[in-house]
Amino acid sequence: MNHRFDGRVAVLGLGYIGLPTAVVLATRGVDVVGVDVNPATVEAVAQGRLPFVEPDLATAVSGAVAMGKLTATTETPEADAYVIAVPTPFNPDHTADLSFVRMAVEQIAPRLRGGEVVVLESTSPPGTTARVSEWLAELRPDLTLPHEIQGVPDVHVAHGPERVLPGRIMIEMVTNDRVVGGITRRCAERAAEIYRVFCQGELLLSDASSAEMAKLVENAYRDVNIAFANELSVISDELHLDVWEVIRLANRHPRVNILTPGPGVGGHCIAVDPWFIVGSAPGTSRLIRAAREINDGKPHHVAQQVVNTAARFRDPTIACLGMAYKANIDDLRESPAVEVIETLSDTLPEVEIAVAEPYVNSLPEKLAQRSNVSLQRTASAVERSDIVVVLVDHDQFRSLNRSLLAGKVVYDTRGIWR
């Protein structure tokens, strides 16, 4: 019964999840067509280039393209399986914006002939996969969809949430266990055939809504734990305690494992996904909402601490180390580091802020417009400053020559120089 998929896959959305998924399928011999609305992304992939930085992905993309197994286009082709890996951002009221999912469904619907499987990989609130099935039914009344009948539908629909960690995507995509939730059991089995091509972890078959919720719960769990650490760091600032020492000692208890405080929680997953739970059950998601608020408030706390420190100097220069949302990557999305720098620049318009970020060549637009913010090499940012604020735990910062810090006030939000 453990069939392995044999056919052509169209992957819609060539971002952080879609592109690696397309590549791991292609390098294992599946014919894959990558589809993206952005012609620049399509052109880059078609030439075997990478639209973003992720270890080992560039070689895999050019290899898959050179083998003729991965092509890229802006037009959704006919295929045997469709994997939807488009963004699901949130609306201002924190409900999920499913417009990209809907657009993907509209592109797939006219191509269906019967016999295909459609897998939603995008992180989504419970019930979204069922909506995909309903949308397909609306758009193709000539076909039967799995929510409509007891027997075998024309098209199978399932959810296959991704759990890979940016920075380790190419490893975790293959080794992680994987949840596959179907509208029916048979839908889950059909979708599992695709993941069986490359997944060495266990395939955990379930229903679509449980799979959707499990994905959100994983990220909310981590968010709550980080919020606990961040709240401890704010309390420790108030009580003049060293939060790193407190957590180090508490974590020596055999059943305590507190995560690491920082300047806040960024990225497109943990800072977003818990809101989908809150949006689905606003009255009851109290802890999950509080965790989001604590983590979202942390950049302001950090900025305020730095402003208080700066008040002790006549004409200070501040070095801010890092803009990425976490260590050793170039991704600035939802980055708390950028928020800290913005707040400092607004609050201290006369103060020079020297930013170091070894993973990017220029400041993002919202910082580039500011006359008091400049991008510098790490050593020169530190050398010219009175206050050094560590915002990202990049390896390059960890290995900085510490003698450069002599005589400076250091505010290390990541605890890298303890």
Q: Which is nearer to ligand SAJ, 78 or 412 (CB)?
A: 412
109-138 residues in contact with ligand SAJ (CB under 6 A) are 123
Q: How far is the CB of 218 from ligand SAJ (least distance, A)?
A: 4
319 token code pair: 């070095």
In our burial notation (b when 16+ CB lie closer than 10 A, e otherwise), range 25-38 reads bbbeebbbbbbbee
**Surface-to-core class of residue 288, CB atoms within 10 Å of its CB (0-12 exposed, 13-18 middle, 19+ buried):** buried
What distance in Å separates the CA atoms of residue 273 and residue 287, rounded to the nearest whole number?
14
Q: How far is the CB of 109 from ligand SAJ (least distance, A)?
A: 27
Q: Which stretch binds ligand SAJ (CB under 6 A): 22-30, 128-136, 238-246, 259-267?
A: 259-267
> Taking CB under 6 A as the rule, does residue 159 contact ligand SAJ?
no
Catalytic status, residue 187: no
Q: Which stretch binds ligand SAJ (CB under 6 A): 45-53, 92-100, 161-169, 299-307?
A: 161-169
**Surface-to-core class of residue 168, CB atoms within 10 Å of its CB (0-12 exposed, 13-18 middle, 19+ buried):** middle
> Taking CB under 6 A as the rule, does residue 219 contact ligand SAJ?
yes
Answer for which of 19, 137, 145, 269 binds ligand SAJ (CB under 6 A) is: 269
> Taking CB under 6 A as the rule, does residue 277 contact ligand SAJ?
no
> Taking CB under 6 A as the rule, does residue 296 contact ligand SAJ?
no
Residues forming a β-bridge with 84: 12, 120
The residue with tokens 């286009």 is 73
Q: How far is the CB of 163 from ligand SAJ (least distance, A)?
A: 4
DSSP secondary structure string for all residues of 261-293: --S---SSSTTTHHHHHHHHSTTT-HHHHHHHH
Q: Which is nearer to ligand SAJ, 67 or 171 (CB)?
A: 171
Answer for which of 260, 328, 372, 396 binds ligand SAJ (CB under 6 A) is: 260
Catalytic, out of 69, 187, 199, 215:
215
> Taking CB under 6 A as the rule, does residue 338 contact ligand SAJ?
no
Catalytic, out of 187, 199, 269, 320:
269
Give the DSSP letter of residue 164: P
Chain-centre distance of CA 145, in angstroms?
31
> Taking CB under 6 A as the rule, does residue 162 contact ligand SAJ?
yes
Q: How far is the CB of 410 from ligand SAJ (least distance, A)?
A: 19
Angle between helices 128-139 and 208-239 (to 10 degrees): 140
314 token code pair: 């006549």
Q: Which is nearer to ligand SAJ, 149 or 290 (CB)?
A: 290
400 token code pair: 């900085």
Which of 286, 292, 224 minimizes the C-alpha distance to 259? Answer: 224
Q: Which is nearer to ligand SAJ, 310 or 392 (CB)?
A: 392
What distance in Å separates the CA atoms of residue 412 and residue 234, rounded to the nearest whole number?
13
Q: How far is the CB of 335 from ligand SAJ (least distance, A)?
A: 7
Answer for which of 25, 164, 170, 194 binds ligand SAJ (CB under 6 A) is: 164
Answer for which of 8, 102, 222, 366 binds ligand SAJ (CB under 6 A) is: 222
Which of 156, 162, 93 minimizes the C-alpha distance to 124? Answer: 162
Is there a contact between 21 and 85 (Cβ–Cβ < 8 Å)? yes
Answer for which of 100, 135, 276, 325 binds ligand SAJ (CB under 6 A) is: 325
Q: How far is the CB of 8 from ligand SAJ (least distance, A)?
A: 26
> Taking CB under 6 A as the rule, does residue 174 contact ligand SAJ?
no
Q: How far is the CB of 206 from ligand SAJ (least distance, A)?
A: 17
What distance in Å separates the CA atoms of residue 118 and residue 96, rounded to the nearest whole number?
20
> Taking CB under 6 A as the rule, does residue 18 contact ligand SAJ?
no
What distance in Å separates the CA atoms of residue 113 and residue 116, rounded to the nearest whole number?
8
> Taking CB under 6 A as the rule, does residue 85 contact ligand SAJ?
no
- How many of the chain's residues bind ligand SAJ (CB under 6 A)? 21
> Taking CB under 6 A as the rule, does residue 265 contact ligand SAJ?
yes
At residue 164, φ and ψ (nearest 5 deg) are -70, 150
Catalytic status, residue 215: yes
At residue 248, the 3 state secondary structure works out as helix
Is there a contact between 166 and 187 (Cβ–Cβ < 8 Å)? no
The residues annotated with a catalytic role in the active site are 215, 269
Interface contacts to ligand SAJ, rule CB under 6 A: 123, 162-166, 218-219, 222, 226, 259-260, 262, 265-267, 269-270, 273, 325-326
